[in-house]
A and B are shown apart, each in its own frame.
Chain A
Amino acid sequence: MGEMVRLQIAIPRRPERSRIFVGLPLEEESDLPFSVSAPFDPNVDRTHLRDHNKLNEWLIARIGDLASAVAVARFEEQPRQGWWAFTLMWQRWRSAGLFIPVVSRAG
């Protein structure tokens, strides 16, 4: 194995726009409920992550490990705030404009 890499996530107290950082923020769009920072491999002008990059894919998977473990821990310690660390599927649909709320009441 190589050197140790530092992975970080920052969960806001109130929901707000999240960003992807390589120390400093990139211009990469993110719909995660938290910001993440890792030694990703950015493009030359350091605005976006490189696509189809093994290092980035590996780091994103490790960020996923960290985020899921933190979410479990937060549910145990602060159940009300546990959901803030999750991205729900319907939130993604809504942000993509695909979610149409339907309310039906029988009778």
Chain B
Amino acid sequence: MSVADLASPHGAASRNSQAPTCAQSAHLVSRSHTMSDLTSSHVARSTAAPQAAGLGLKPLVRRFRPSFATRKSWVQIPPAPLNALIRAILGRSKRRWLSTIGDAPRHRCPTGSTAEHLYLCEVLRRTGFVLRLEDPRFDLKFFKEWIAGWDVSSLLFLRGLQHVQLVDLDKRQVVGDRGVSVSKPKRPTVSIPNVTEVEQVTLTDVASTRAWTRYTTRYPRPRQMRATHKRWAKWFAYK
């Protein structure tokens, strides 16, 4: 796994001002093997049910748009807020970013790593995003409450991400933890037309006794049925 440093969420905005000062820092660590789940979508915080809060940086931007990131920097590029954030802040292409994550040898820190990176890589042995935040509202307490706000069931159907921790790197202490442990897959005898196999796994909340049995299968999709955004993408490609 590798460690990625998001230099400053204000990146685009701060380019116009003086050199950014790292007043605040928060550290999100995840057992993520790919970036696909984090970059794929968003989940908005549901006002009807507090437990229905989801995963993603979009809720942060919705609530604190003026100070968290400027509209110009990345808000305009849903539904991939983190991906857009990365591109806006670091100026890197998606391909380069993903290849950095995907191709990095496990448990090996990139060259030029700081002590924080080494701690994340070698001690925790997890993918980490070190967020240095300038706005005083986005402190460790804020992220602690943010992580506590989302329900662990948000992780049920993510392929690469099963565990997210918030780490106080100054104290070397985990202050927020949401995750599920996944059992070895089984092949139950389930008969469905046009389906060859079904996979069954048990997901258990690391912090409680909640558990789910997840069944996965694959169907051949009729060619004429496509999601609207994919149909548009194809149309624009022909144009």
Contact = CB atoms under 8 A, between A and B. Distances in A.
Interface of A: 1-14, 16-17, 19, 21-27, 35, 37, 39-41, 45-47, 50, 53-55, 58, 62, 65-66, 69-70, 72-73, 77
A25 B43 contact: yes
Interface in B188-239: 188-193, 195, 198, 203, 209-223, 225-228
Contacts of B79: 46
For the complex of A and B, the 3 pairs showing the least CB-CB separation, nearest first, are A37-B157, A1-B220, A2-B223
B37 A5 contact: no
A contact face: mostly helix, strand, loop, or mixed: mixed
Contacts of A50: 228
A32 to B, nearest CB: 13
B contact face: mostly helix, strand, loop, or mixed: loop
A13 B210 contact: yes
Interface of B: 37, 40-44, 46, 48-49, 51-52, 54-56, 78-79, 153-154, 156-158, 188-193, 195, 198, 203, 209-223, 225-228
Contacts of A1: 220-223
20 contacts: A3-B221, A6-B217, A8-B217, A10-B156, A10-B213, A11-B213, A12-B212, A13-B213, A19-B52, A24-B37, A24-B41, A24-B42, A24-B158, A25-B54, A25-B154, A35-B157, A35-B212, A37-B157, A45-B78, A70-B198
Contacts of B222: 1-2, 58
Contacts of A19: 52, 153
Contacts of B213: 10-11, 13
Q: Of B51, B157, B193, B209, which is in contact with the most chain A CB atoms at under 10 Å from its CB?
A: B157
Q: Of A4, A12, A24, A46, which is in contact with the most chain B CB atoms at under 10 Å from its CB?
A: A24
Contact of A4 (B52, B211, B218): B218
Nearest to A1: B220
A50 to B, nearest CB: 7
A8 B216 contact: yes
A25 B41 CA distance: 10
Contacts of B198: 66, 69-70
Given A22-B41, A25-B52, A46-B42, A9 B225 contact: no
A25 B42 CA distance: 8
A17 B157 contact: no
A44 B103 CA distance: 33
B210 A12 contact: yes
A24 B223 contact: no
Contacts of A16: 153, 210
A9 B44 contact: no
Nearest to A37: B157
A53 B203 CA distance: 31
A24 B43 contact: yes
